[in-house]
């Protein structure tokens, strides 16, 4: 099973790969810098080289980079949009240098300008980076306020434009918070079929495996430890035993307490995998 965690890089990129390896991850996700700041420091080329070397030695694949929260790629505000696009460009160059496979973006907020305006801005924002490395994955959201991506239909235009040159990052907690009851296997399969038909067959390429700290349809983005939230362990059994979803990288973004908490969450997923795939 492809299984990993979002790892903090406060001790540097090389230490992050080591932590991933220590946790038994064969894939992982990082931010490149402080996700709530516009400021960027230039990265030392030696660190980049060492990062790539470690990733290769530990056979970690895919390497996933997550966009900083501060960007709004669908903003109607020209200034914010410009700043966001400039930072995205900076990030994409760095992600490519690091040999990352996927770059996960949040679709952003239209801030009341309307979903069509937001999506059009989003399309223009990611256009320069499509068909390049790393591949852009759009993450679904809890659909709070004017946030785009709470309904899978929000992505139709995006996939009409870019087809299979982009992919989807499916966040289990956001999906549930947005109103899709994936605790029910029939409803989960119905949702997958809808994604296959309306967006792109097999368009989901990464799973953010998080239990939900808030109820169905609450539109509140709260992550919880696996098995301790509103989704419960049973939901992750449904996902892992699915013939397609179960083959994808599962990356936890559960609350960061300590390394033991990450380990415990990963162990639960691994034990489900053992049961259903009989490794
Ligand atoms: Zn996520």
97-136 per-position pLDDT tens digit: 999 999 999 999 999 999 999 999 999 999 999 999 999 9
Nearest to 200 by CA among 165, 248, 164, 170: 164
Q: Is 53 helix (H, G, I), strand (E, B) or coil?
A: helix
Tell me how far apart the alpha carbons of residues 157 and 56 are, in angstroms, rounded to a whole number.
Answer: 37
Q: Is the pLDDT of residue 26 over 60?
A: yes
Kindly state the average pLDDT of the residues 205-227.
Answer: 98
Kindly state the average pLDDT of the residues 43-68.
Answer: 97
Nearest to 137 by CA among 125, 126, 152, 147: 126
Q: For residue 249, report the phi and psi dihedrals to the nearest 5 degrees.
A: -65, 125
Nearest to 161 by CA among 131, 140, 191: 131
The structure tokens 């929000």 sit at 154
Q: Which long-range contacts (CB under 8 A, 24 or more apart) does 156-165 make?
A: 156/198, 156/199, 157/119, 157/120, 157/123, 158/119, 158/122, 158/123, 159/199, 159/200, 159/203, 161/123, 162/123, 162/126, 162/130, 163/200, 164/200, 164/203, 165/130, 165/131, 165/135
How much distance in Å is there from the Cα of 139 to the middle of ligand 1? Answer: 7
Q: Are 173 and 167 in contact (CB under 8 A)?
A: no
> What is the average pLDDT value for the chain, to the nearest integer?
96
- pLDDT-based confidence at residue 25 (cuts at 50, 70, 90): very high
- Measured in whole angstroms, the distance separating CA 276 from the mean position of its chain's CA atoms is 24
State which residues have CB under 5 angstroms from ligand 1, the bound ion: 171, 208, 253
Give the pLDDT confidence score for residue 42 in this predicted structure. Answer: 86
How much distance in Å is there from the Cα of 127 to the middle of ligand 1? Answer: 22
Element holding 212 (H helix, E strand): strand 211-212
Give the pLDDT confidence score for residue 257 in this predicted structure. Answer: 78
Percent of all residues in the chain with a pLDDT value above 90, rounded to a whole number = 95
How much distance in Å is there from the Cα of 39 to the middle of ligand 1? Answer: 23
Total-model pTM:
0.97
Give the pLDDT confidence score for residue 147 in this predicted structure. Answer: 97
Give the pLDDT confidence score for residue 277 in this predicted structure. Answer: 73
Give the pLDDT confidence score for residue 278 in this predicted structure. Answer: 54
What six digits make up the tokens of 238? 């449904």
What six digits make up the tokens of 30? 């990082």
How much distance in Å is there from the Cα of 175 to the middle of ligand 1? Answer: 10
- Which CATH fold would you assign to the domain 3-277? TIM Barrel (3.20.20)
How much distance in Å is there from the Cα of 231 to the middle of ligand 1? Answer: 15
Q: Is the pLDDT of residue 258 over 90?
A: no
How much distance in Å is there from the Cα of 208 to the middle of ligand 1? Answer: 5
How much distance in Å is there from the Cα of 73 to the middle of ligand 1? Answer: 17
């Amino acid at each position: 099973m492809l299984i990993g965690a979002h790892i903090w890089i406060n001790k540097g990129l090389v230490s992050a790969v080591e932590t991933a390896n220590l946790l038994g991850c064969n894939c992982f996700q990082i931010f490149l810098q402080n996700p709530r700041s516009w400021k960027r420091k230039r990265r030392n080329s030696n660190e980049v080289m060492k990062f790539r070397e470690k990733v290769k030695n530990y056979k970690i694949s895919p390497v996933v980079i997550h966009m900083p929260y501060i960007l709004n790629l669908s903003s109607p505000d020209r200034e914010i949009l410009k700043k966001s696009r400039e930072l995205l460009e900076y990030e994409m160059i760095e992600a490519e240098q690091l040999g990352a496979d996927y770059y996960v973006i949040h679709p952003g907020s239209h801030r009341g300008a309307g979903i069509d305006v937001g999506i059009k801005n989003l399309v223009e924002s990611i256009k320069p980076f499509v068909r390049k490395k790393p591949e852009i994955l759009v993450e679904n959201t809890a659909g709070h306020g004017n946030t785009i991506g709470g309904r899978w239909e929000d992505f139709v235009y995006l996939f009409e434009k870019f087809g299979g040159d982009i992919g989807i990052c499916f966040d289990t907690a956001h999906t549930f918070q947005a109103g899709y009851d994936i605790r029910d296997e029939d409803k989960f399969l119905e949702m997958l079929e809808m994604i296959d038909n309306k967006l792109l067959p097999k368009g989901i390429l990464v799973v953010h495996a998080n239990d939900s700290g808030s109820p169905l349809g609450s539109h509140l983005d709260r992550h919880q430890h696996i098995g301790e939230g509103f989704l419960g362990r049973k939901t992750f059994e449904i996902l892992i035993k699915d013939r397609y979803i179960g083959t994808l990288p599962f990356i936890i973004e559960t609350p960061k307490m300590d390394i033991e908490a990450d380990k415990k969450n990963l162990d639960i997923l691994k034990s489900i995998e053992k049961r259903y795939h009989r490794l």
